[in-house]
Amino acid sequence: MKRILLSIFLMAALLCLHYFVAGSRTAEAAKPAAASCQACHADFTSVLPKGHPPAKGTGLAACTSCHAPDLTGIAKKNAFSSRMHTAHVGPKGSLDCTACHTWVPNKRFGLIGQKWSWGAPKKEDMDLMKEIFISWANSGHTDTLHAKAGIVCTQCHGKELPKADDTVENSRCLTCHGPMEKLALKTEPKDFKGRNPHKSHLGDIACTVCHKGHRESKVYCLGCHQNFQMKIQGAAKP
């Protein structure tokens, strides 16, 4: 049922693509886009899960009044923002960010109808975020694996908007995947116990050496140990 609802949601979002792209071009320059979802959703009943109380209103506030946006950058699964982005980013980055977000270049970035700001992204930051969101939704890299589990930017990157050279600290990954010793046990090969990528002669290294968030993951070990049999999730598609 959930899946069907999601597909309807996605299709609706796609149908609205044209409207939003065309609309945003003029709206962006003039004033923040209207906080209305009505263009696509006459009401929200069709997209709400079964048993969800009726959502009042026509704008974003209909959701955010209960689902308060996460301002703490906590790492948790299946956050509301993840589901919203999965539905609206679409397979090809269809919806413009400003459909829901307010953005004043170099000054603030928030949600329509809300006062707080997550940061002050420049145009290049915004372009990068869009690019990354598309990767997140589609690439098959580590980001997509996380998208499928309902993990959005903040749950890896923290509460600030990630910068171009941002990385994810091991401690952040280990919040869900740790502790390290336990993780290492999971990947200990049966035949050669010493060939454990999570307990190697390189000592304490960053998870991101192999596990790339937004590009192909590669087993770093194989650069030298060409005869090792090792696989990694989020690798290049065959």
Q: Calculate helix-pair angle for 2-15, 80-89, nearest 10 degrees.
A: 50
Half-sphere exposure of 44 (CA within 13 A, CB side): 18
Cis peptide before 179 (omega within 30 of 0): yes
Nearest to another protein of 72, 226 (CB atom): 226
Are 223 and 205 spatial neighbours (Cβ–Cβ below 8 Å)? Answer: no
For 211, counting Cβ atoms within 10 Å of its Cβ (0-12 exposed, 13-18 middle, 19+ buried), the class is: buried
Beta strands in 76-126 (DSSP E): 101-104, 108-111
71 lies in the binding site for another protein (CB under 8 A): no
Site mask for another protein (CB under 8 A), range 126-165, x = bound: --------------------------------------xx
Choosing from 11, 21, 74, 206, the residue that interacts with another protein (CB under 8 A) is 206
Question: Cβ 187 to another protein, closest distance in Å?
Answer: 16
Nearest to another protein of 68, 205 (CB atom): 205
Question: Cβ 142 to another protein, closest distance in Å?
Answer: 14
Phi, psi of 111, deg, nearest 5 = -115, 145
DSSP-derived pairing of the beta strands 101-104 and 108-111? antiparallel
Residue in the block written with tokens 């000592």: 203
The 10 Å Cβ neighbour count of residue 53 is 7
236 lies in the binding site for another protein (CB under 8 A): no
Binding residues among 87-126 for another protein as defined by CB under 8 A: none
Paired strand residues for 103: 109
Phi, psi of 127, deg, nearest 5 = -60, -45
238 lies in the binding site for another protein (CB under 8 A): no
Nearest to another protein of 30, 224 (CB atom): 224
31 lies in the binding site for another protein (CB under 8 A): no
Nearest to another protein of 176, 209 (CB atom): 209
Are 113 and 59 spatial neighbours (Cβ–Cβ below 8 Å)? Answer: yes
202 lies in the binding site for another protein (CB under 8 A): yes
190 lies in the binding site for another protein (CB under 8 A): no
DSSP 162: P
Nearest to another protein of 34, 209 (CB atom): 209
205 lies in the binding site for another protein (CB under 8 A): yes
Choosing from 2, 115, 193, 231, the residue that interacts with another protein (CB under 8 A) is 193
72 lies in the binding site for another protein (CB under 8 A): no
Nearest to another protein of 108, 214 (CB atom): 214
Residues in contact with another protein by the rule CB under 8 A: 164-165, 192-195, 201-203, 205-206, 208-209, 220, 223-227
